[in-house]
Amino acid sequence: MKTWVTQLRKGLIEYCVINVLNGSESYGYEIVVQLKELEVMDVTESTVYPVLTRLKSDGYLKVRSEPSKSGPPRRYFSLTKLGQQRLQEMNTYWDLLNESIDTLRQSNGAA
Amino acid sequence: MELSSFETNQIQSYLDAVGERLLGTEHDETLAGIESHIYDAVEARRAGGEEGNLVAAVLAELDAPEKYGERPAAVAAGGPRMSKLVIAGACLPAAALMPMLIGLNLDRDYHAAKAILVALATGLMLLGIILSKVALQLIKRSDGMLTGAGLALTFYLLPLLGAVSLIVSSFFFGKVLPDGPGAERTAAINLGIMGVCVLGSIAYAWYEVRSTRRAIYTHN
């Protein structure tokens, strides 16, 4: 059970990050704080920052640096056009997946 | 936000430990994100009225560096190592010098021996160039685990540029300015070919140096 949950969370992190950035830009700390509110996801920095880096290098995110009062420049992430397209595809697939699993559970008399 | 040197050292130690576990292109990006995160987290705690060594408190809440993955074998073993292929690629042209010098200095009576020695030397040089090129590719993909890019570049590009120079100079002294009918047209074509050769080899050398530098600095 534990392994299954871990794998599922790992697969969903990218989806969650892209959803956090839907319609607005945000910086790393803010993204982590927002994702940590989803307790069920058990998100930490060591999962979020590598994902942000990968999404950027894959062309789904763009970065804008802005001087910060608190230290090094703050890096604001936002979705590129490709990222928005990806979000739409992921949302569509997520809905389809949910629907299919619900149907499966109902047809098998799940509680 | 002012931090003491002790606190900035604490942050740097954490970043170093994490950085050892990050590879290739993700290294700098991810570290920059984590560093910024630490400062933002300290600022948030300070704004919330907390006091004391907030850096230590923030670092204690962050994931342990081990969570970012295993340390690469080379780092764990004490650091990057020199590529053996680079050494082989540098030794072969040196080894080719002796048969080349002997072969070129033999009398015409020893025609066969001369040809064999020159062919052997040429083969060794070509093998050296190939090994240096392979070493260069491996170094670029090694995420900093292999070193010797400078030596590999030297022994890959210098013989290539040398060969181009030899061809161009022999061409120049022999055929660039021919006599007879149509000489001007032939000379113009020859100069054009030479120009393309020289510019092409310089552009290729520049590309190799640039791509190697990019690969190395992306990691560091």
CA distances from A16 to A9, A25, A62, B188, B208 (A): 10, 14, 17, 64, 40
Closest residue in B to A49 (Cα) is: B30
CB contact under 8 A, A69 and B43: yes
CB contact under 8 A, A46 and B41: no
Mutation site for A-interface testing, chosen from B37, B54, B63 by largest number of A Cβ within 10 Å:
B37
Burial class (CB in 10 A: 0-12, 13-18, 19+), A105: exposed
Segment of B78-82, B198-202, B216-220 carrying the highest mean pLDDT: B198-202
More confident residue, B200 or B185: B200
Backbone angles phi, psi at B177, to 5 degrees: -115, 70
Supply B4's token pair: 């003491």
In the block, tokens 């942050």 appear at B11
pLDDT of B171 reads 67
pLDDT of B220 reads 47
pLDDT of A58 reads 92
User: Chain B 6-35, CB below 8 Å of chain A: which residues?
Assistant: 22, 25-26, 29-30, 32-35
Handedness of CA B62, B68, B74, B79 (dihedral sign): negative
Assign B165 a pLDDT band (cuts: 50, 70, 90).
confident
Residues of chain B found within 8 Å of residue A52, distances taken between Cβ atoms:
29-30, 33
Supply A30's token pair: 């803010």
Kindly tell me if the per-residue pLDDT of B50 is higher than 90. Answer: no
CB contact under 8 A, B44 and A29: yes
CA distance B57 to B45: 9
Q: What is the mean pLDDT of chain B?
A: 81
The lowest-confidence range among B20-29, B49-58, B186-195 is B186-195
More confident residue, A85 or B156: A85
pLDDT of A63 reads 93
pLDDT tens for the 111 residues of chain A, in order: 678 888 888 889 999 999 999 989 999 999 999 999 998 888 999 999 999 999 999 999 999 999 887 789 999 999 999 999 999 999 999 999 999 999 999 998 765
- Tens digits of residue pLDDT in B96-117: 888 888 887 877 777 788 888 8
Residues of chain A found within 8 Å of residue B36, distances taken between Cβ atoms:
27-29, 68, 71-75
Q: Is B22 left (phi over 0), alpha (psi -120 to 50) or beta?
A: beta
In the block, tokens 């595809």 appear at A89
Rounded mean pLDDT of B67-76? Answer: 68
Mutation site for A-interface testing, chosen from B8, B40, B46 by largest number of A Cβ within 10 Å:
B40
ipTM score for this prediction = 0.87
CB-based contacts of B144, cutoff 8 Å, min separation 6:
B74, B80, B216, B219, B220
More confident residue, A75 or B24: A75
Residues of chain B found within 8 Å of residue A46, distances taken between Cβ atoms:
62-63, 67-68
CB contact under 8 A, B1 and A56: no
A vs B, Cβ pairs < 8 A, gives 75
Strand order across the A26-27 sheet: A26-27, A71-79, A61-68
Q: Which of B22, B37, B68 sits opposite A28 (nearest CB)?
A: B37
- Tens digits of residue pLDDT in B78-94: 567 788 888 888 888 88
- Tens digits of residue pLDDT in B128-143: 889 888 888 888 877 6
CB contact under 8 A, A50 and B44: no
